[in-house]
Amino acid sequence: MPIIHDDEFGKIVVRRSARATQVRLRIAPDGTLRASLPMYAPLFLVKRLIKSSRGRLKELQRDSSEHDSYMDGMQIGKSHTLLIRSGSTLQAIRKGQRIHVAIPETIMRDDPKVSAVVRPVVIQALRIEAKSYLPKRLAYLASYGGYKYERVRFSHASGRWGSCSSQGTISLNIALMKLPFELIDYVLVHELAHTKEMNHSQEFWRLVETGDPEYIEHRRQIKQQTPSI
């Protein structure tokens, strides 16, 4: 994929898509900037859009960083708890199902330095939960619905909850562990349906409905969530 290096926003990954009809910019879960554009559109269109949208893009980055504010007692995933105390040095350590965070009194909790230390440990905790729960639940739903897939892989950098390749590999975002169980099931059923229908046709949605009769409501709810960590 092409990469643009910008003095203000750093490395910007550009993805060409056959489904794209215009140039789009978005903030990735890790706070970096990403772009998509039609297959044969010139790359300078991305640079021109960045130039004309710098103010708005900086606002979006600030809004995105606000989600990284951590609170004492905050639940992480399904089984981890974040515990914050004062300390001489800034650090975060996972012990069992607790994430212990020490923050010096000279540093505010919403300081980017706190997020830089805590986020990798949160990712570690969510990955542990995802690997423990998601493959078993996916296998159960596949058996129940008569689906077959090749393997499961995990990610956290994607802007999607999940995906399914034409080779039958199902990729799942570990941020799924932040969702209610019924929405997790919706995503899993959605990707399993793609093992039979690699599109969003009427037949595809019929398969989804078979596995999740309330998929319309779940689809609405998940659009209000973001797969960021």
The string of pLDDT tens digits covering residues 6-43 is: 887 888 889 888 888 899 998 775 567 889 999 989 99
pLDDT digits (tens, 9 = 90+) for 198-214: 999 999 999 999 999 99
% of the chain surpassing 90 pLDDT: 64
Domain encompassing residue 37: 3-66
Does 52 share its domain with 81? no
User: What does the chain look like in DSSP terms, one character per residue?
Assistant: --EEEETTTEEEEEEEETT--S-EEEE-TTS-EEEEEETT--THHHHHHHHHTHHHHHHHHHHHHHTT---TT-EETTTEEEEEEE-SS-EEEEETTEEEEEE-TTS-TTSHHHHHHHHHHHHHHHHHHHHHHHHHHHHHHHHHHT---SEEEEESS-SSSEEE-TTSEEEEEGGGGGS-HHHHHHHHHHHHHHTT-SS--HHHHHHHHHH-TTHHHHHHHHTT-----
Does 88 share its domain with 159? no
Does 137 share its domain with 214? yes
% of the chain surpassing 70 pLDDT: 95
Separation of CA 68 from chain center = 14
With a cut of 90, say whether residue 148 has pLDDT above it.
yes
Residue 148 sits in a domain of what CATH number? 3.30.2010.10
Task: Please report the pLDDT score of residue 17 as a whole number.
Answer: 85
Does 197 share its domain with 211? yes
Does 87 share its domain with 37? no
Give a yes or no: residue 229 inside a domain: no
What does the alpha-carbon distance between residue 27 and residue 228 come to, in Å, rounded to a whole number?
10
Give a yes or no: residue 56 inside a domain: yes
Does 88 share its domain with 121? yes
Does 119 share its domain with 154? no
The last residue of a domain, from among 43, 66, 89: 66
Which position has the token pair 């969530």? 225
The tokens describing 131, both together, are 């690997």
Does 20 share its domain with 33? yes
Does 172 share its domain with 210? yes
* The model's pTM: 0.71
Please check whether residue 19 is in contact with residue 37, taking contact to mean a CB–CB distance below 8 angstroms: no
Task: Please report the pLDDT score of residue 90 as a whole number.
Answer: 96
Count of domains forming the chain: 3
Does 91 share its domain with 164? no
What does the alpha-carbon distance between residue 81 and residue 77 come to, in Å, rounded to a whole number?
8
Does 140 share its domain with 193? yes
Burial 185-223 (b: 16+ CB within 10 A, else e): bbbbbbbbbbbebeeeeeebbebbeebbeebeebbeebe
Give a yes or no: residue 184 inside a domain: yes
The last residue of a domain, from among 126, 152, 169: 126
Give a yes or no: residue 155 inside a domain: yes
Does 105 share its domain with 142? no
Which position has the token pair 């708005």? 56
- Say which residue, 121 or 160, is predicted with more confidence: 121
pLDDT digits (tens, 9 = 90+) for 69-121: 688 999 999 999 999 999 999 999 999 999 999 999 998 887 778 888 999 99
Task: Please report the pLDDT score of residue 62 as a whole number.
Answer: 64
